[in-house]
A and B are shown apart, each in its own frame.
Chain A
C-alpha cells in the first residue's frame, strides 16, 4: 500500500466516509471529526506511519489536505 492509500484508508475508517468525502474533509465538518475523533485519527496515523507528532502539528491538522502537508513536511512521509 502506498502512503497515499494508507492515509486515505485511515480517514475512511476513522470517520466512516467515502473517498470523495474524505478528500475534502475539514475538522468539525462532520460529527465524527470532533475533538475525540481528532485524537483517534492522530493515534491511528501515528501507528500506521510509526511517527510521533508534535502538539503544534496536532493542532494545525485541520483538514485532509493540511494533514498531508504536515506529514510530508515535518515527518518525511512522501505522498
Chain B
C-alpha cells in the first residue's frame, strides 16, 4: 500500500488486526528503504544483527533513541533534495535534533496532520487565534518545533491573529476586535501549553480582576508541548481545563502529544481525556529493564512508530517519555486504536518539549 492509499483511510477506523497488518507492512518497507539509503542506519542495524526475516510484527522492528538525531545527521535522501530542516526546541546549551525533509515527507506530514485534526474539528476552517507571537515563524530556513506546530495548525484557520506581541504581551484590543467580528461562531485557539498558561490564562485572570472579561465559550483550544513546567507549578491537566473554563468559558480543550522527530503524526486528546493513536502511527510502551512490551495499565517508556518518514530514518523511535496504555479499540469516544496517557519525562532526561524549553527561562 502506498502512503497516498493509506491517507484515504479514516484515521480512527481500523481495529487491532487490520491496523497491525497495515503498519507492519509499511514500517518493514520503511526499514528496508532506510537500510538502502542511509549508511549510518545500515551500520547501526548491522551491529544489532537485524534480520527482516525474523520480524513478525512492527513491535519486533529496531528502534533508535530519539536523541540520536542530536548527535548524528541522519538522512536517506541526497542533501540537494532537502527542502526543509526542522529542529527540536532545545534551550541554550542543549543539543537540538535536526530533521531533514524532502518534498514528499514534508507534504505527507501536513496531509496526515490535516486528516487527524479534521476528525476533531470537522472539515470547515475556523477563525483562529494563535496564542503565541508572530516572530516564532520568522526564520523560514530553520524551523523550530514551535514554529512548525503553529504553521501546521494554521491551515485550519480561515482568518488568523496572533494574540501575543513579540514581547509576549496579550493584544487585548486585537483580541476583542477579533472576537466581536466572529461573534456566535466557533473559534479555534492554538498554542503551547505553558505559553497558554503563562501569557494567556494568567493575563485573563489579571484582566478579570480589573473587570475586563472575554467570552470564549465558542472556543476550541488545541495545545501541546509538554506539562513539565506546569506540573512543577502544581497545575494538573484537570485544573488547567477547569481554570480556563472559569475565566473565559473555554470548555472544548484538546491536548496533543507529538514530537518534531515524527511531525505530522500527532496524538490528539479526545472528549474523554485520552490521547489517541491514528492509523498513521502507533505507540508501544516498553519496560525499562528489558524493553519488553507493557500490558494495559503498566507504565513504560514510549516507543513511537510513524508511517511518514522517508527522508530520514525516524519511523521507529524510543522517546524519553513515560506513558501508560489505557486500552485499545474501546474508548468510549468511539475512536479505534490505542489510547493512552503520558506520565511525564523519564527521570534524568533533558527538558525538551516545546513549551518546556521556553518555560526553562522562567525557572
Q: Give the B interface residue count (CB, 8 A).
A: 20
Instruction: Decide if B206 is an interface residue (CB 8 Å cutoff).
Output: no
B114 closest partner in A (C-beta): A55
Partner of B125 from the list A28, A37, A52 (CB cut-off 8 Å) is A52
Specify the main secondary structure of chain A where it touches its partner: helix
Beyond A28-B83, A28-B103, A55-B114, whether A39 also contacts B156 by CB under 8 A is: no
Complex alpha-carbon distance, A28 and B123, angstroms: 25
User: Can you list 8 A-B contacts with CB-CB less than 8 angstroms, sorted by A residue number?
Assistant: A35-B106, A36-B137, A37-B140, A52-B125, A54-B125, A56-B114, A56-B123, A59-B155
Q: How far is the CB of B35 from chain A (nearest CB, A)?
A: 27
Name the B residues within 8 Å of A56 (CB-CB): 114, 123
B118, B123, B124, B154: the one contacting A39 at CB < 8 Å is B154
Task: Kindly list chain B residues whose C-beta atoms are within 8 Å of the C-beta of A54.
Answer: 123-125
Q: Contact string, B142-173, partner A, CB cutoff 8 A, digits 1/0?
A: 00000000010011101000000000000000
Contacts A55-B125, A59-B114 given; indicate if A31 touches B140 (C-beta within 8 A). Answer: yes
Contact yes or no, A34 B84, CB < 8 A: yes
Interface string of A17-49 (1 = CB under 8 A from B): 000000000011001001111010000001000
Q: How far is the CA of A52 from the CA of B107 in the complex (A)?
A: 21
The answer to whether A55 and B84 have CB atoms under 8 Å apart is: no
B245 CB–A CB distance under 8 Å: no
Q: Which of chain A's residues have a CB closer than 8 A to the CB of B154? A: 39
A6 to B118: give the CA distance in the assembly, Å. Answer: 31
Given contacts A34-B83, A39-B155, 14 further A-B contacts (CB under 8 A): A28-B83, A28-B103, A34-B84, A35-B106, A36-B140, A54-B123, A54-B125, A55-B114, A55-B118, A56-B114, A56-B123, A59-B107, A59-B111, A59-B114
Q: Mark B97-128, 1 if CB is under 8 A from A, else 0.
A: 00000010011001100100010000111000
Cβ of A58 under 8 Å from chain B: yes
| B155 A34 Cβ-Cβ under 8 A | no
| Cβ contact within 8 Å between A55 and B123 | yes
Q: How far is the CB of A18 from chain B (nearest CB, A)?
A: 22
For the complex formed, measure the closest distance between the CB of A50 and the CB atoms of chain B, giving whole angstroms: 12
Contacts of B83 in A (CB 8 A): 28, 34
Nearest CB in chain B to that of A56: its residue: B114
For B155, the chain A residues whose CB sits under 8 A away are 39, 55, 58-59
Which residues of the partner chain A approach B106 to less than 8 Å between Cβ atoms?
Answer: 28, 35
Alpha-carbon distance A28/B81, docked complex (angstroms): 11
Pair B151/A39 contact, Cβ less than 8 Å: yes
Chain A residues near B118 (CB-CB < 8 A): 55
B156: A residues at CB distance < 8 A: 55
**A34, A46, A53, A55: most-surrounded residue (chain B CB, <10 A):** A55
Cα of A36 to Cα of B83 in the assembled complex, Å = 13
Complex: A72 Cα to B154 Cα, angstroms: 24
Q: How far is the CA of A55 from the CA of B151 in the complex (A)?
A: 13
Q: How far is the CB of A55 from chain B (nearest CB, A)?
A: 5
B140's partner among A34, A46, A52 (CB-CB below 8 A) is A34
Q: Which residue of A lies closest to B160 (CB)?
A: A43
Check A35/B158 contact, CB under 8 A, given A52-B125, A54-B123, A55-B125: no
- Once A31-B140, A34-B140, A59-B114 are accepted as A-B contacts, the answer to whether A52 and B158 lie under 8 Å apart by CB is yes
Tell me whether B151 and A35 are in contact (CB under 8 A).
yes
